């Protein structure tokens, strides 16, 4: 194990590091909290970046610095207080290079300020969903005019055409001999492919923009203060240009499912319209001002797209013999696939009601600004 004290010593932090211990339970990066001796000096978060998944660490860290600098500028312009708790701060190296990461023995490390008195949650009620919606909408709104060009830290991450191509490749190879067993699910998914790839076609026709999105909008990627107010959005590794559907759809995929994504109890899987309504209301409050009519009219599509994309990704991995997602038993990816298909079916039933709800909210917003 690397000497963490030697690594933190390379960064331009305030105070003397005295204690370094593991923090949180992230699945991708390794995270530590660094406490300092002086009471007035902040604590820090030291992270090893998983460069097997994020192969372009330089591009990734440039994205994050551009985004956090822009958010800090916006907060300062608004006259916000407590800015250090409302946006992450990455610490440069002492070597004067200006870089915010270092590579030692093939491992990449970075340091940010620890945000004190802040909390995250794994499940949400309608109230937190509304706040999460507003916070993610706000995050996108503040980044609309970012001058930097960001890289895709995982190329084609949420590109549905690409995910279907991967499924097609898996079907052709049938590497694990599992195709016959899942053929009915393959057919069921493929009959929706035209509808589900519409975002890519609209993008090529210049009718749909890409914007800077978070692309991992699980609720536990948001920090709240002790009073339940949103402080900031964290886990910025996947921040990249994408359709706004990524943030809107992936939150609902995780938060509005009555069951966990790998629950085998398919009869209990349902899409929670109370979470949908609360999240959408919060999101439109902060995002309606910059969204185009096309983006707004496709929000129900976004809600369907993400369980669909996830079903395609899980099924692809099952057919390939479980090479991407961690599994704990042989049918795990198949169970996940069935769960996401069931969620998709529940969403499809609710789409007319979603459209009505969004139309009504937009009418309210238009009236209130008259």
What is the nearest approach in angstroms of ligand GN1 to the Cβ of residue 311?
11
Q: Which residues contact 186 (CB under 8 A, 6 or more apart)?
A: 167, 171, 179, 315
Query: Cα dist. 101→26, 59, 324 in Å?
Result: 19, 11, 27
Going by C-alpha positions, the residue among 370, 365, 187 that lies closest to residue 293 is 365
DSSP 8-state symbol, 175:
T
Q: By rule CB under 6 A, what string of x and - marks binding of each residue 145-184 to ligand GN1?
A: ---------x------------------------------
Residue 363, binding choice from ligand GN1, Mg ion, none, Cβ under 5 to 8 Å by partner class: none
Distance between CA atoms of 245 and 300, rounded to whole angstroms? 9
Q: What's CA 146's distance to the chain center, in Å?
A: 19
Q: Between residues 250 and 281, which has the closer beta carbon with respect to ligand GN1?
A: 250
Q: Is 25 in the site for ligand GN1 (CB under 6 A)?
A: no
Q: Is 53 in the site for ligand GN1 (CB under 6 A)?
A: yes
Give the count of residues interacting with ligand GN1 (CB under 6 A): 7
Distance between CA atoms of 101 and 123, rounded to whole angstroms? 32
Place of tokens 């001796």: 37
CA angle 78, 79, 81 (to 5 degrees): 120
What is the nearest approach in angstroms of ligand GN1 to the Cβ of residue 160?
13
Q: By rule CB under 5 A, what string of x and - marks binding of each residue 326-365 to Mg ion?
A: ----------------------------------------
| CB burial string 233-264: b at 16+ within 10 A, e below | bbbbbbbbbbbbbbbbbbbbbbbbbebebbbe
Residue nearest to Mg ion (CB): 216
Of 1, 6, 27, 180, the residue at the interface with ligand GN1 (CB under 6 A) is 27
Q: By rule CB under 5 A, what string of x and - marks binding of each residue 196-225 to Mg ion?
A: --------------------x---------
What is the nearest approach in angstroms of ligand GN1 to the Cβ of residue 28?
6
**Binding to ligand GN1, residues 203-262 (CB under 6 A):** 216, 261
Going by C-alpha positions, the residue among 229, 257, 7, 234 that lies closest to residue 111 is 7
Q: Would you tell me which residues interact with Mg ion (CB under 5 A)?
A: 216, 235
Write out the residues near ligand GN1 by the rule CB under 6 A: 27-28, 53, 154, 216, 261, 310
């Amino acid at each position: 194990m690397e000497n963490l004290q030697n690594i933190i010593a390379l960064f331009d932090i305030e105070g003397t590091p005295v204690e370094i211990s593991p923090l949180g339970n992230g699945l991708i990066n390794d995270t530590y909290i660094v406490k300092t001796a002086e009471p007035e000096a902040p604590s820090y978060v030291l992270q090893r970046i998983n460069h097997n998944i994020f192969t372009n660490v330089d591009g990734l860290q440039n994205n994050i610095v551009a985004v956090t600098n822009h958010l800090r500028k916006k907060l300062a312009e608004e006259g916000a207080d407590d800015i250090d708790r409302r946006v992450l701060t990455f610490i440069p190296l002492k070597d004067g290079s200006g870089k915010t990461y270092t590579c030692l023995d093939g491992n990449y490390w970075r340091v940010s300020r620890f945000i004190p008195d802040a909390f995250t949650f794994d499940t949400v009620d309608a109230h937190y969903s509304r706040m999460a919606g507003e916070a993610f909408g706000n995050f996108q709104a503040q980044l609309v005019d970012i001058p930097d060009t960001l890289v895709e830290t995982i190329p084609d991450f949420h590109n549905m055409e690409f995910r279907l191509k991967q499924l097609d490749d898996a079907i052709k190879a049938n590497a694990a001999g599992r195709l016959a067993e899942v053929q009915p699910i393959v057919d069921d998914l493929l009959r929706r492919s035209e509808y589900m790839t519409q975002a890519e076609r609209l993008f090529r026709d210049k009718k749909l923009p890409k914007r800077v999105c978070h692309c991992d909008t699980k609720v536990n990627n948001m920090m709240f203060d002790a009073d339940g107010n949103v402080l900031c959005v964290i886990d910025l590794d996947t921040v990249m240009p994408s359709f706004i559907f990524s943030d809107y759809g992936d939150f609902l995929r995780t938060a509005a499912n009555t069951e966990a994504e790998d629950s085998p109890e398919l009869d209990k899987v349902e899409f929670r319209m109370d979470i949908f309504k609360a999240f959408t209301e919060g999101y439109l409050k902060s995002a309606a001002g910059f969204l185009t009519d096309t983006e707004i009219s496709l929000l129900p599509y976004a809600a369907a797209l993400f369980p669909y994309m996830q079903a395609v990704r899980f099924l692809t991995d099952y057919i390939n013999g479980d090479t991407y997602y961690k599994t704990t038993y042989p049918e795990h990816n198949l169970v996940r696939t069935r769960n996401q298909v069931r969620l998709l079916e529940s969403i499809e039933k609710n789409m007319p009601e979603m459209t009505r709800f969004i139309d009504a909210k937009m009418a309210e917003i238009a009236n209130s600004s008259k």
